[in-house]
């Protein structure tokens, strides 16, 4: 049996250890209009309300600050929360802040549950007298989704002082994970140890929802210490932490694409339930490859067909583009190429490709450079590159021109040397001097041309 007094003591220690101050929070009071003649309910109404939060009933929450004039005094409530979950810093922004925490409060009707893993909590056919009061369900979300809190509170009939009986918190309101990594979705609960409902145990339920589809992930009856027969493989709870500290966090051993969606953690007490919903997104960046690789040698006027394949990514969408970096180090865009449709693999990941027709006659590619495929995705930017070499280009560099002149003179000299080797030593030396003078003259012309170029 869970010792709720231990959970209570831990919450008090946690509150004392922080520098929390409890907020005065504006909240929407939402309820359904009764239908005509006591029939079907009509539309919902919402009114501004004000919640003065405190951790014990002896705290003075009146203060010197006056309540806003646009709030009905009948909608000003005092909330006593011994767990101090409602005193989290993200629920109490500095005065004058533009951003405000989200809050909604609704009337709540206690009733037994017929679910197999909850029904044993309310075996008695008689409802306890304790339930004869006003009950409210409230949900809160801190700034930047730092925390989500859901509470069930009780107020003596006709009063405006609410006592939190059951509280659930989550600090993973928006979680992200890579494929294959373990994931922990945070969910902790607190029960007022003084309530008689705490003596009959609790139950935990985790559900998954996405795009109108839902399934039971895991359900556990703490009173009977029993898991429901239907539960998802690879999902589990830490039962020791659950009973000792109220830690009902869900652990997924290995993140898969199908795990992306909304997870709802629900805690049941006899006649009561509270739940908090959180989002999990599985993000996996693409792996890139370019074909063909390496690229064949290209000549001016030739068109090369390149394909960039992005695979194993999730979720959609993906942006693919091409870049070229020349020998001068400057980069320029080559566009997005021709994009294919996306394809989905057995594991839920996607693949997509882009084709690029690289026309060397229309693009000034010089002697070549580096062609890069760039993928922009929620998981990050990825790049893959191949080297392009262009031979026989129309505008050789000064260094190449000097080299070609030098090679031509050397070959010409060798040929003459062999043919005249039989005409005499004097003739050979005379011709070598002519080659030297001619080479010096050509070198001077090339250097002068390079300066003016």
Answer for the pair 185, 250: CB distance below 8 angstroms, yes or no: yes
Mark whether 273 and 313 lie in a shared domain: no
In a domain, 87, yes or no: yes
Mark whether 243 and 267 lie in a shared domain: yes
How far is it, in rounded angstroms, from Cα 349 to Cα 312? Answer: 5
How far is it, in rounded angstroms, from Cα 96 to Cα 99? Answer: 9
User: How confident is the model over 384-431, as pLDDT tens digits?
Assistant: 999 999 886 545 555 555 655 565 566 666 666 556 555 555 554 555
CB atoms within 10 A of CB 62: 8
Mark whether 269 and 193 lie in a shared domain: yes
Mark whether 113 and 257 lie in a shared domain: yes
Q: The whole model's pTM is what?
A: 0.79
Pick from 264, 282, 300: which residue ends a domain? 282
Beta strands 272-282 and 174-177 are: parallel
Pick from 254, 282, 310: which residue ends a domain? 282
φ, ψ of residue 256 in degrees (nearest 5): -125, 160
Among 36-40, 325-329, 396-400, top mean pLDDT goes to 325-329
- Cβ-in-10-Å burial (0-12, 13-18, 19+) of 202 comes to buried
In a domain, 171, yes or no: yes
pLDDT tops 80 at residue 7 = no
Pick from 282, 312, 341: which residue ends a domain? 282
Residue 307 is part of a domain; what is its CATH number?
2.60.40.10
- Cβ-in-10-Å burial (0-12, 13-18, 19+) of 299 comes to exposed
In a domain, 318, yes or no: yes
Q: How confident is the model at residue 212 (pLDDT cuts 50, 70, 90)?
A: confident
Mark whether 236 and 363 lie in a shared domain: no
Mark whether 271 and 307 lie in a shared domain: no
Q: What percent of the chain has pLDDT over 70?
A: 79
Mark whether 54 and 111 lie in a shared domain: yes
Domains contained in the chain, number = 2
Q: How confident is the model at residue 163 (pLDDT cuts 50, 70, 90)?
A: very high
Mark whether 256 and 275 lie in a shared domain: yes
Domain membership of residue 82 as a residue range = 24-32+44-58+70-121+130-282
Mark whether 277 and 322 lie in a shared domain: no
φ, ψ of residue 406 in degrees (nearest 5): -60, -45
CA-to-CA dists, residue 336 to 146, 308, 332, angstroms: 38, 10, 12
Mean pLDDT for the chain?
Answer: 85
In a domain, 89, yes or no: yes
Mark whether 347 and 217 lie in a shared domain: no
pLDDT tops 50 at residue 310 = yes
User: How confident is the model over 227-277, as pLDDT tens digits?
Assistant: 999 889 999 999 999 999 999 999 999 999 999 999 999 999 999 999 999
Whole-number pLDDT of residue 424: 52
Answer for the pair 263, 207: CB distance below 8 angstroms, yes or no: yes
User: Could you tell me how many residues make up the chain?
Assistant: 453
How far is it, in rounded angstroms, from Cα 376 to Cα 414? Answer: 59
In a domain, 417, yes or no: no
Tell me the two tokens of residue 20: 């929390």
Mark whether 236 and 151 lie in a shared domain: yes
Closest CA to 206 of 191, 182, 184: 184
Mark whether 319 and 269 lie in a shared domain: no
Whole-number pLDDT of residue 452: 40
* Secondary structure class of 423 (helix, strand, coil): coil
Answer for the pair 183, 177: CB distance below 8 angstroms, yes or no: yes
Tell me the two tokens of residue 434: 């002519």
């Amino acid at each position: 049996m869970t010792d709720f007094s231990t959970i209570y003591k831990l919450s008090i220690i946690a509150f004392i250890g922080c520098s929390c101050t409890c907020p005065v929070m504006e909240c929407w009071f939402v309820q359904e209009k009764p239908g005509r003649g006591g029939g079907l309910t009509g539309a919902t109404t919402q009114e501004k309300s004000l919640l003065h939060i405190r951790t014990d009933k002896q705290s003075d929450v009146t203060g010197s600050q006056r309540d806003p004039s646009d709030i009905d005094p009948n909608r000003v409530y005092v909330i006593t929360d011994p767990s101090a979950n409602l005193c989290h810093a993200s629920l109490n922004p500095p005065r004058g802040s533009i951003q405000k925490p989200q809050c909604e409060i609704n009337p709540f009707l206690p009733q037994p549950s017929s679910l197999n893993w909850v029904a044993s909590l309310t075996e008695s056919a008689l409802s306890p007298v304790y339930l004869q009061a006003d009950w409210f369900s409230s949900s809160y979300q801190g700034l930047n989704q730092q925390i989500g809190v859901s509470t069930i509170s009780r107020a003596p009939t006709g009063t405006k002082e609410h006592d939190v009986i059951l509280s659930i918190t989550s600090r993973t309101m928006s979680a992200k994970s890579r494929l294959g990594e373990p994931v922990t979705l945070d969910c902790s609960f607190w029960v007022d140890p003084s309530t008689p409902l705490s003596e009959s145990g609790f139950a935990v339920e985790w559900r998954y929802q996405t795009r109108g589809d839902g399934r039971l992930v895991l359900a556990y009856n703490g009173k009977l210490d029993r898991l429901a027969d239907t539960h998802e493989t690879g999902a589990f709870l830490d039962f020791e932490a659950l009973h000792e500290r109220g830690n009902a966090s869900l652990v997924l051993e290995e993140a898969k694409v199908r795990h992306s969606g909304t997870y709802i953690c629900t805690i049941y007490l006899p006649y009561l339930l509270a739940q908090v919903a959180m989002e999990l997104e599985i993000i996996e960046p693409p792996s890139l490859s370019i074909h063909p690789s390496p690229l064949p040698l290209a000549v001016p006027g030739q068109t090369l067909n390149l394909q960039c394949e992005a695979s194993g990514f999730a979720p959609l969408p993906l942006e693919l583009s091409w870049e070229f970096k020349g020998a001068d180090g400057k980069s320029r865009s080559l566009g997005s190429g021709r994009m294919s449709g996306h394809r989905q693999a057995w594991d839920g990941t996607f693949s997509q490709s882009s084709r690029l027709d690289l026309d060397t006659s229309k693009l000034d590619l010089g002697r070549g450079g580096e062609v890069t495929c760039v993928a922009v995705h929620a998981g990050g930017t990825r790049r893959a590159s191949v080297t392009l070499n262009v031979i026989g280009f129309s505008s050789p560099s000064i260094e190449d021109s000097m080299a070609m002149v030098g090679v031509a003179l050397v070959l010409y000299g060798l040929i003459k040397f062999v043919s005249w080797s039989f005409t005499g030593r004097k003739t050979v030396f005379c011709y070598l001097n002519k080659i030297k003078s001619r080479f010096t003259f050509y070198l001077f012309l090339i250097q002068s041309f390079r300066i003016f170029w």
